[in-house]
Chains A and B, each alone.
Chain A
Amino acid sequence: MILTMALIVGALFGAGTYLVLQRTLTRIVLGLGLWTYGANVLLLLAGGRAGAPPLLDGDAPAASFADPLPQAMILTAIVITFGITAFLLSLAYRSWTLTGDDMAEDDVEDRRIAGRWRVPAASTTEEEDDVV
């Protein structure tokens, strides 16, 4: 059982990583979603073996029912990820209305360096700044 769960966590993290490395924000959001699922399953796993009843009356020993804390943590984590995912999707939509796509931008420095290669004349003003 634990091995199966561990493999599921690994698969979720692996697939999530693949999606996060894509260029469009909607895919990145799906990837992040898979990551958080992976983390949540891992939290569930941290609570011990499956199969114990969720609640017993007051006299039962603590080891005989399931640890409630991971479930509370997962619930909190789900709520937080839900909110942020909604925000990210609205950002993706905003990006789509403004520019027609939701691609992640190249790094600003990378673009500047690439610009220097293509148009050497354009870099003169920057060189003057360096002299100062």
Chain B
Amino acid sequence: MNVLVPALIALPTLAAGVSMAFWRRVLVQQLLGLAVLGACLTGAASLVFTVADTGPVAIHLGGWPAPIGITLVVDLLAALLLTMSLAAVVAVFVFAIGQPRADKSAYYFHPLYLLLTAGVSASFLTGDLFNLFVAFEVMLSVSYVLITMGGRRDQVRAGMTYVVINLAASTMLVTTIALIYAATGSLNLADVALRLDTVPHGLRQVFATMLFLTFGIKSAIFPLFFWLPDSYTTAPVTITAVFAGLLTKVGVYAIIRTQTLLFPADHALSTLVLAVAALTMIAGVLGAIAQDDMKRILSFHIVSQIGYMLFGLGLYDAAGLAAAIFFMIHQIPVKTALFMVTGLTETMTGTGALHRLGGLVRRAPLSAVVFLLAALSLAGIPPLSGFFGKLALLQAGFAAGVWSVSAISLVVSLLTLFSMTKIWAAVYWNEPEEPPPLESARGTGRLRAPLLMNLSTAALVATTVAIAICAQPIWQLCLLAARELLDPRAAYITAVFRR
């Protein structure tokens, strides 16, 4: 454990440096990346089983005990989400290897991608408020470069919005950290949780709101989501796929972690979180319905689905939190897979605009099947994974008597299905209104995409089907994780201060 957990952060970072040295040899970069990311995925998966048995585990770097040294903490929530994220990371990496590369300047893609993975791992594993900020910055700095990769005019413009919004949110986070440090004199999350007991109720509410807003900007909640659809759509599609699967979910993880650990039930912002959850769902799905480009439709759905995760958090009981965790586990591969299908479509036809696509159900049947499974799962059609996530959320919502948000989530599911059928009808059934831009894609012949791209997309969709098949055991793990979150003093804090 003492080696494995820091290695999940250190290994990709080191590999990023080595990969940089081999910038002329893409094959070496690809093999190195695959080996390192595969090793990290295996390590994270083994952590799930360890942590499910023993409860949360804390690692004190350099042997310094808890409030003084830097602490890494693995609990079930972190281990589950990290495993799912790394699965998506590996799938997108294979997808990127398979992609025919027109852009010769992309040799820095591999080192950056490894560094992004290190940032994501560090965000999940850190047990320290300031290190959480640093981990977010590692992840986001890399994402700034990746999102403007290519340096086209629209990318530069969209990148400006993205960087400025995130830097503003980061400044807010530093401000919040300064205030929390001034009030408690500690940065270790477990230690802060204990010391906040002596802080007046009003001040705790200020901290809770500030942390919620800061991470809310990064996870695109209502009304702070406007940067997301604009900036995600201009990036190369492999980048959008990995961002869609990971970045906003890391933001939601940070919200769940800080709110449950630092602000137990009597200080919680349940009403605010529930209201924001409902508005996020509605705003996202209505935005998606108005769009006519695959990437933009799916980007708005990222926002809409964040609402469901907040819904589970807002209920603030074991069933609600477990449902939110299950929903996140399902959401990471599904969202990534949907963007990968968009990438397949763009590779085959040169566009993602609905009116220039059509008839792909005959011309590219594999991508049609893969899209259908992922889209129905997103909408929550049984027996796919989204259904179980939404069922669990609704059961928790009805049990807690939160009828309004439960009803809204049902309507939003219906609208999600409508928006997915819009893509399905335009891209896979109808004839295109205008021919697609790529010469090779005109006519009615079969369209082909590189094997690795097809394979990785299919593998990720197979993962979502596997989540549906193993719904019961995964649900038990989520319930266990939720109970740990609700009683941090028995689990998380004890683990950090155990000698």
Contact = CB atoms under 8 A, between A and B. Distances in A.
Given A129-B354, A129-B355, A42 B134 contact: no
A126 to B, nearest CB: 6
Interface stretch (B163-171, B199-207, B266-274, B332-340): B163-171
Interface string B133-161: 01001000100110010010100111111
Contacts of B425: 132
B263 interface: no
B171 A35 contact: yes
Interface string A67-83: 00110010011001101
A81 B144 CA distance: 13
Interface string A4-30: 000000000000000010000100100
A102 B163 CA distance: 14
A73 to B, nearest CB: 6
Size bracket of the B interface: 35 or more
B163 A84 contact: yes
Given A73-B130, A84-B141, A39 B175 contact: yes
A88 B174 contact: no
Contacts of B171: 32, 35-36, 38-39
B107 interface: no
Nearest to A85: B167
Contact of A99 (B153, B161, B230): B153
Contact of A132 (B134, B141, B153, B426): B426
Contact of A105 (B160, B182, B422, B426): B160
B174 A43 contact: yes
Interface in A84-132: 84, 87-88, 91-92, 94-95, 98-99, 102, 104-105, 107-109, 125-126, 128-129, 132
A28 B164 contact: yes
A45 B178 contact: yes
Nearest to A105: B157
Interface residues of A, number: 42
A52 interface: no
A20 B164 contact: yes
A35 B11 CA distance: 34
B160 A91 contact: yes
Given A45-B178, A94-B156, A129-B354, A87 B145 contact: yes
Contacts of B89: none
A46 interface: yes
The main secondary structure of chain A at its interface with chain B is helix
Given A20-B164, A95-B160, A36 B426 contact: no
Contact of B230 (A69, A108, A126): A108
Contacts of A84: 137, 141, 144, 163, 167
A84 B292 CA distance: 34
Interface string B278-313: 000000000100101000000000000000000000
Contacts of B178: 39, 42-43, 45-46, 70
A21 to B, nearest CB: 11
A107 B179 CA distance: 33
Q: Which 8 A-B pairs have the closest CB atoms?
A: A46-B182, A43-B178, A39-B174, A42-B178, A105-B157, A46-B181, A35-B171, A129-B292
17 contacts: A35-B168, A35-B171, A36-B171, A43-B174, A43-B177, A45-B178, A46-B182, A73-B177, A76-B134, A87-B141, A87-B145, A91-B156, A94-B151, A95-B160, A104-B161, A109-B287, A109-B290
Given A39-B175, A88-B164, A108-B230, 13 more contacts: A35-B168, A39-B171, A39-B174, A39-B178, A73-B174, A84-B144, A84-B167, A88-B163, A95-B160, A125-B433, A129-B354, A129-B426, A132-B426
